[in-house]
């Protein structure tokens, strides 16, 4: 945190734009191991790590977040046109996401990876598999 604050105050480009800023708190979370069960709500699509849109093999998620963000944006644009922000209307986003190859690759990988019953029991017991869904 000291390095980031130093950069905010001393870096030529950054201090000019954010000179008065200070980082006071940092947080992190686990990378989700599985897609979220529900990625929409009333007036709210969920994208990126929060929706479990992570490549299960290497943990990357930027491309998934960008592509799914575009998909969420398209559904939200239609919601604006129709002035309908209901959970039912935004459920189109999840339906369209489930039709993508990224979603299916995640599911197939998880089935393959967690096919060991012992591993499934350990992950389920520790709550790691769907821990990120507590926040949705």
Identify whether residues 16 and 2 lie together within a single domain: yes
Identify whether residues 67 and 79 lie together within a single domain: yes
Total structural domains in the chain? 2
**What mean pLDDT is predicted for residues 122-132?**
49
> Global pTM?
0.58
Neighbours of 37 (CB within 10 A): 11
pLDDT of residue 135: 39
Identify whether residues 67 and 105 lie together within a single domain: yes
- 26/1 Cα distance (integer angstroms): 8
CB 85 within 8 A of CB 40: no
- 70/95 Cα distance (integer angstroms): 14
- Where does the pLDDT of residue 62 fall: very low under 50, low under 70, confident under 90, or very high at 90 and above? confident
Enclosing domain of residue 39: 31-135
**Residue 131 reports pLDDT greater than 90:** no
Identify whether residues 107 and 129 lie together within a single domain: yes
Separation of first and last alpha carbons in the chain: 28
CB 52 within 8 A of CB 34: yes
Identify whether residues 89 and 49 lie together within a single domain: yes
The pair of three-digit structure tokens given for residue 12, joined into one six-digit string: 């030529």
- 21/15 Cα distance (integer angstroms): 8
Identify whether residues 121 and 56 lie together within a single domain: yes
CB 110 within 8 A of CB 128: no
Summarised one tens digit per residue, pLDDT across range 12-38 is: 677 776 666 777 777 777 777 778 889
């Amino acid at each position: 945190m000291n390095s980031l604050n130093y950069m905010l105050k001393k870096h030529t480009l950054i201090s000019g734009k954010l000179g008065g800023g200070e980082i006071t708190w940092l947080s992190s979370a686990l990378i989700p191991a599985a897609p979220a069960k529900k990625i929409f709500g009333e007036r709210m699509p969920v994208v990126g790590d929060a929706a479990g849109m992570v490549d299960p093999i290497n943990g990357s998620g930027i491309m998934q977040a960008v592509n799914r963000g575009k998909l969420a944006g398209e559904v939200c644009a239609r919601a604006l046109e129709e002035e309908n922000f209901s959970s039912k209307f935004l459920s189109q986003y999840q339906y369209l996401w489930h039709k993508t190859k990224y979603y299916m690759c995640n599911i197939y990988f998880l089935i393959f990876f967690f096919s060991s019953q012992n591993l499934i029991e350990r992950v389920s017991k520790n709550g790691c598999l769907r821990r990120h869904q507590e926040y949705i």
